[in-house]
Structure 1
Amino acid sequence: MAKEIVLSSLKIKNFKGIKDLEIDFGQVTNIYGENGVGKTTIQDAFNFLLFDKDSKDSTKFDVQPLDQDNNPIHNLETIIQATMDIDSREVVLKRVYKEKYSKVRGTAKTEFKGYESKYYVNEVPKKVTEYKEFISQLMDEQLFKLITNPMYFANLAWKDRRAIITEIVGDLDNNVVLDSKKNLEPLRSHLDDKSLNDFMKANRSKINELKKDRAQIPSRIDEVNNSIQEFDFDAIDFKVREVSGAIKNIDDKLQDKSKVNEGLFKLKTDLMEKKSKLTELEYEIKSNVNKPKMEFEAKVRSVEVNIRHLESDLENLIEEETRENNLIKMLKDRREILLEKYKKIKNSSFEFDEESCICPTCKRKFEANDIEVKRTELESNFNQDKANRLKENIEEGRATANQLKVKSALVEKIAKKIADKKEIFEATKKSLIALKEKLNKFNPIQVEEPKEIKIIKNEIKSLITQIENFKAEDVSELKQKKQELQLQLQQLDKQLTYKELNEKAKSRIKELEEEENRLSEKIAELEGLEMLSEEFIRTKVELLEEKVNSKFKYVKFKMFNNQINGGLEECCEPCINGVPFTSNLNTAAKINAGLDIINTLCSHYGVQAPIFIDNRESVNQLIETNSQIINLIVSKDKKLKMEVMQNA
């Protein structure tokens, strides 16, 4: 059943520029007056009564009258009362808005504390939450503005306008659009599990990726093509055999000359063996002579290592003792802090500020019973919290004492270990001093050079003389020639490797060309789907605009704009005879367009409310509407003049 709201009367006192005014409304009411006498203020007052805002949807405006210097006039009560007929039931809403003062403690002065409102429904006082709840049940604020102000809908953001229109007419199912044109059928399988917008984004992303891959192929082909090196591979192969033969010939000559030089090689080998045997004998003799001293030195090194280990152990124990002592100090400090905290908690007492017991919305002080309940609740919470904190403090203190006991015992054990280590350390140092004294007094036994060593030294001198007098064959020229031929052969082998590389490069170029063709075919396929998607959108636009416009008598909605690139851009623009509301439409056409939109909204939501039409003088003839009409007409009247009419 449709809800009908009719404004029967409105009483305004001390609101903005209106001092005292009472209006009785009919189905059509004309309010005349020149600019600035308060026509719009009447609509502001009605909106302020319902939603705490003016007709421009703002909460920041001067509610109470201002003096000639534009300052608020104090100690006035602003009263707005509206009598409405809601489905043949009379409802009276009233709001009293005034300044709030409080007495300054200890003085006779009062201090301004802001503003407060009192609300009434059918003369019954209501709390602000109760009043707002009543209004919200009566009418949604957004819907009320949509059906009472012809300009409100068109001034919304286009997305908000589109959301409202879509809610009224509903959206079109993809299958309906696909069924309307056979050539759209290839899209059906792509729209089973995703929206068209998601499909188009995914499809465009694939196209871009494929184009990016395709764009790289020519440069990759060029890179592979540049790697191809053209040579006369048959001639190179012949040259390789020729150079290899020359190298083999030189190797044969070198082998013949090397046989002559084998005698020199044998002399040098004998010399090296004799020198090695001499070194072994000298080391053996020296070792036997110095063996007693080496044993003393080994003992000294062993004791020195032992001393270093003892020093390291002592350092570690001292560091451990220092750490544990620091921890003990921290535990003692923590114990003192916990004790101080315990005393502070134990001596704390409950405090209650009665002045803080005020309503956060209307700033009114609580009743005495409510204050006592609040005090009891807060005191109980305080005592419980105090007991919990004392318990936590005691438990933490006991844990700290146990830790302190454990750490103290550990420090005693460490101190005992340090004393034992120091005693061992001192004894070991004395042992080292004694060993070093013995080592310094040690004198090795001098022995005569053995006969065997003398014989070997004479043999070494003889071998050196023979080597110096040996005449070797010169093979440097043959080796130089061989090195040159080997370098030439390496260069030829390097050129031959390009034969296989060239074949692989040409095969790779063919693969890249095939890949380029495959990518082009796939891109063409996806671009075909993209064109179908755009046609799908245009088809849906035509069907959707037809569906939307069937709901309106005068207004035609433009739901999409054609872009330069051939695409579509979503919008929601009401038009009259093709002229957009927000551009060149005159005031009269805008008002009638707004009324046509209101008629459709009222029909859809099943509700009617008073329509305030500002600048009514600009319209010769209003379109038909079942809602109550309140015309605000600019005239030469110095004071507001009301007139109840039979029709608009």
Structure 2
Amino acid sequence: MHIRFQKLTLKNYKSHRDLTVDFGELTKITGDNAKGKSSIPESLCWTLYGTDSLGSKLDPTPIGYAFDEVKAELLLSVDEKQVLLGRGIAKGKTKYWVNEVPSKATELDELVQSLFDKDLFLSLFNPAYFPSLHWEAQRKLILQYVTSPANKEVFGQLPPAQADKLADLVKKHSLAELDKIHRENKNKQDKAYIAAQSRTKTLLQQLNSLPEYGVDIDEATEKVAQLDGQIMEIERTTEAAADTNRKYTALQSQIKSLQEQVSASAGKWPELRDEQIVDTCRTCKQALQDEAVKAVADDKNRRVQAYKEQHAALVAKRKEAEAQLEALEYIDVSEQLEKIRALEQDKLPYLDAIKAYSRRAQLEDQIEQAKVAEAETLASRNESVFILDAIKAFEAKEAELQAGKVQDLFTTLSIRLFKQNKGDGELKPDFEIEMDGKPYRKLSLSESIRAGLELRDVLSQQSGIVAPCIVDNAESITRFTQPNGQLIMCRVVAGQDLKIETEDEVK
């Protein structure tokens, strides 16, 4: 894109009551201080943006003479297509024109924005504008036209282990995502590793605190088996004796119960035996008939007979139980039980040894598992540390390559795109312009003009936009590289009125 200023018309703009400037390839504006030199390039920016050449708001109304309207018109061409833009102030209100047609502010702003970006245009027009931007805006503007190094190009500069690892991982995640994933995992595994080490240490302390079992574990197991065999043999004997004793005791209880029943039955016999045969009615006291007396006697005989049979049965049952008891002998197993208790006591030391051996084996197994978990945790942590270091190395190398690409654009200036944190050594975005080892803010006026001109020419070449350029305070610089595009030079000449010269005529 080629931008050219053709004509500027000012009416009541600051000190210029009525001024017309026809621009050439080189336009020289000279004169003493306060003659309105700087107002001319300033009015160009005010017409386009309502600001001065550094992007700051300004009031162009004149002081010292009466006026009815302030107006500035700029005829410019963009790739040979002409457009006439105007901005003015009347009765305190701002007015706008596009090709002499009254317009709204938004219409003019949108048209100008469609022609060229404001920051880029002002950086191309005024070499002092770019350094006035915030460093982030400067950085963005420079990098806007410089392609970042491809991943493959950066990988080629890294150690193979780091390059191979990242090349595989970026197939699934971006480097920013990988950084988040592995920072989180590293922090997690740092804590987990401390906990794993603590568990291993605790288990080892428990193992070391166990008493020595002092016997061969196989011999102890065999000895317990032998003692258990002896106990089982005795228990078989005592169990048989216990069955006999239970029968003996049961028969004793049965005989006692039967004896009580026989005694109770015998106690009933006298009353039944001596029972009288009553021959009168107990109610009316009249004598019973012979048949009735016989029935009473028959009833007593029947009850007597039933009693005798029942009593005899009880006696027989008692004698049978006594005979069974006579055939049994109560066995005393206290000696056998004492032997079992003694054998159980003999088993205790061996059982304690087996228990200690089992606990030791359990702890050893837990320690082995804890060591494996500790190693896995450390491996996961170290993997994340390796990846984070690889990302850091990638970013450093990418920054180095990108800085190299940017630096190759300049001849006398040095550009810093990154700075290193003192704490962790990480690279952070930055932007610093230096000339001969001095930062831009410490350059002299002539040095800052030369630096600004080189910066704007790089932006012009990278963006493909050729725009007019102003060199203010040109008297302070004796040599500089001719910028591309139209050049407007403002120079102080003591005692001289305002003079405007183009490369082919003087006005």
Task: Tell whether the 8 Å contact from 1:75 to 1:98 is kept in structure 2 after alignment.
Answer: no
Indicate whether 1:77 and 2:57 are aligned.
no
Indicate whether 1:52 and 2:45 are aligned.
no
* Alignment deviations for residues 40-97 of structure 1 (CA, whole Å, 9 cap, x no partner): 44343222211123333234x4443468xxxxx9984211123435555654432231
Correspondence list, 1:553-564, <5 A: 553-564=411-422
Change (3 A) 1:223 1:65: farther
Change (3 A) 1:567 1:138: closer
Aligned equivalents of 1:624 and 1:227: distance in 2?
84
Task: Tell whether the 8 Å contact from 2:31 to 2:499 is kept in structure 1 after alignment.
Answer: yes
Aligned equivalents of 1:159 and 1:632: distance in 2?
30
Specify the alignment match of 1:450 in structure 2. none
Aligned equivalents of 1:155 and 1:495: distance in 2?
85
Which of the pair is proportionally richer in helix? 1
Correspondence list, 1:214-293, <5 A: 214-228=193-207, 229-231=209-211
Task: Tell whether the 8 Å contact from 2:95 to 2:102 is kept in structure 1 after alignment.
Answer: no
**Partner of residue 91 from structure 2, selected from 96, 99, 103:** 99
**Partner of residue 544 from structure 1, selected from 397, 402, 413:** 402
* Alignment deviations for residues 138-173 of structure 1 (CA, whole Å, 9 cap, x no partner): 333232212112122233333333333333121211
Normalising by structure 1, what TM-score?
0.51
Specify the alignment match of 1:162 in structure 2. 139
Q: Secondary structure at the match of 2:409?
A: coil
Change (3 A) 1:95 1:529: closer
Specify the alignment match of 2:61 in structure 1. 64
Specify the alignment match of 1:567 in structure 2. 426
Indicate whether 1:117 and 2:116 are aligned.
no
User: C-alpha root-mean-square deviation of aligned residues, in Å?
Assistant: 4.9
Correspondence list, 1:237-636, <5 A: 500-564=358-422, 565-581=424-440, 583-633=441-491, 636=494
Instruction: Report the residue type matching 1:125 in the other structure.
Output: P
Q: CA deviation at 1:645?
A: 6.0
Aligned equivalents of 2:477 and 2:204: distance in 1?
79
Q: Secondary structure at the match of 2:429?
A: strand
Aligned equivalents of 2:103 and 2:425: distance in 1?
59
Specify the alignment match of 2:122 in structure 1. 145
Q: Secondary structure at the match of 1:560?
A: strand
Task: Tell whether the 8 Å contact from 1:39 to 1:640 is kept in structure 2 after alignment.
Answer: no
Specify the alignment match of 1:8 in structure 2. 7
Q: Secondary structure at the match of 2:144?
A: helix
Specify the alignment match of 1:344 in structure 2. none
Instruction: Report the residue type matching 1:5 in the other structure.
Output: R
Instruction: Report the residue type matching 1:230 in the other structure.
Output: L
Q: Secondary structure at the match of 2:148?
A: coil
Indicate whether 1:207 and 2:220 are aligned.
no
* Alignment deviations for residues 85-137 of structure 1 (CA, whole Å, 9 cap, x no partner): 5555654432231226xxxxxxxxxxxxxx2414242x343344443343334
* Alignment deviations for residues 176-226 of structure 1 (CA, whole Å, 9 cap, x no partner): 222355635413212233333433443343333333322222222233344
* Alignment deviations for residues 355-412 of structure 1 (CA, whole Å, 9 cap, x no partner): xxxxxxxxxxxxxxxxxxxxxxxxxxxxxxxxxxxxxxxxxxxxxxxxxxxxxxxxxx
Q: Secondary structure at the match of 1:34?
A: coil
Aligned equivalents of 2:457 and 2:380: distance in 1?
52
Task: Tell whether the 8 Å contact from 2:193 to 2:377 is kept in structure 1 after alignment.
Answer: yes
**Partner of residue 154 from structure 2, selected from 167, 170, 177:** 177
Normalising by structure 2, what TM-score?
0.63
Aligned equivalents of 1:79 and 1:534: distance in 2?
56
Q: CA deviation at 1:494?
A: 10
Specify the alignment match of 1:42 in structure 2. 40
Q: Secondary structure at the match of 1:168?
A: coil
Change (3 A) 1:578 1:21: farther
Question: How many residues are paired up?
Answer: 401
Task: Tell whether the 8 Å contact from 1:43 to 1:612 is kept in structure 2 after alignment.
Answer: yes
Task: Tell whether the 8 Å contact from 1:7 to 1:610 is kept in structure 2 after alignment.
Answer: no
Aligned equivalents of 1:232 and 1:174: distance in 2?
62
Change (3 A) 1:65 1:502: farther
Task: Tell whether the 8 Å contact from 1:31 to 1:630 is kept in structure 2 after alignment.
Answer: no
Aligned equivalents of 2:61 and 2:27: distance in 1?
29
Q: Which runs of 5+ in 1 are unaligned?
A: 68-72, 101-114, 249-255, 267-488
Task: Tell whether the 8 Å contact from 1:28 to 1:645 is kept in structure 2 after alignment.
Answer: yes
Q: CA deviation at 1:30?
A: 2.8
Q: Secondary structure at the match of 2:52?
A: coil
Aligned equivalents of 1:44 and 1:150: distance in 2?
13
Change (3 A) 1:495 1:190: same
Task: Tell whether the 8 Å contact from 2:3 to 2:76 is kept in structure 1 after alignment.
Answer: no
Aligned equivalents of 2:44 and 2:429: distance in 1?
36
* Alignment deviations for residues 518-573 of structure 1 (CA, whole Å, 9 cap, x no partner): 44444444444444444433433333233223333433322223444443223233
Aligned equivalents of 1:217 and 1:128: distance in 2?
69
Over the matched positions of the two proteins, sequence identity in percent amounts to: 21
Q: CA deviation at 1:625?
A: 1.1
Task: Tell whether the 8 Å contact from 2:15 to 2:63 is kept in structure 1 after alignment.
Answer: no
Change (3 A) 1:63 1:584: closer
Q: CA deviation at 1:601?
A: 2.3
Change (3 A) 1:218 1:634: farther
Instruction: Report the residue type matching 1:208 in the other structure.
Output: N
Aligned equivalents of 1:500 and 1:636: distance in 2?
106
Change (3 A) 1:190 1:31: farther
Q: CA deviation at 1:21?
A: 4.8
Q: Secondary structure at the match of 1:30?
A: strand
Indicate whether 1:644 and 2:504 are aligned.
no
Aligned equivalents of 1:532 and 1:588: distance in 2?
44
Task: Tell whether the 8 Å contact from 1:29 to 1:630 is kept in structure 2 after alignment.
Answer: yes
Task: Tell whether the 8 Å contact from 2:179 to 2:391 is kept in structure 1 after alignment.
Answer: yes
Instruction: Report the residue type matching 1:156 in the other structure.
Output: L
Aligned equivalents of 2:477 and 2:414: distance in 1?
20
Aligned equivalents of 2:449 and 2:33: distance in 1?
20
Aligned equivalents of 1:541 and 1:208: distance in 2?
26
Aligned equivalents of 2:73 and 2:185: distance in 1?
64
Task: Tell whether the 8 Å contact from 2:2 to 2:79 is kept in structure 1 after alignment.
Answer: yes
Task: Tell whether the 8 Å contact from 2:5 to 2:74 is kept in structure 1 after alignment.
Answer: no
Change (3 A) 1:92 1:98: same
Task: Tell whether the 8 Å contact from 1:555 to 1:575 is kept in structure 2 after alignment.
Answer: yes
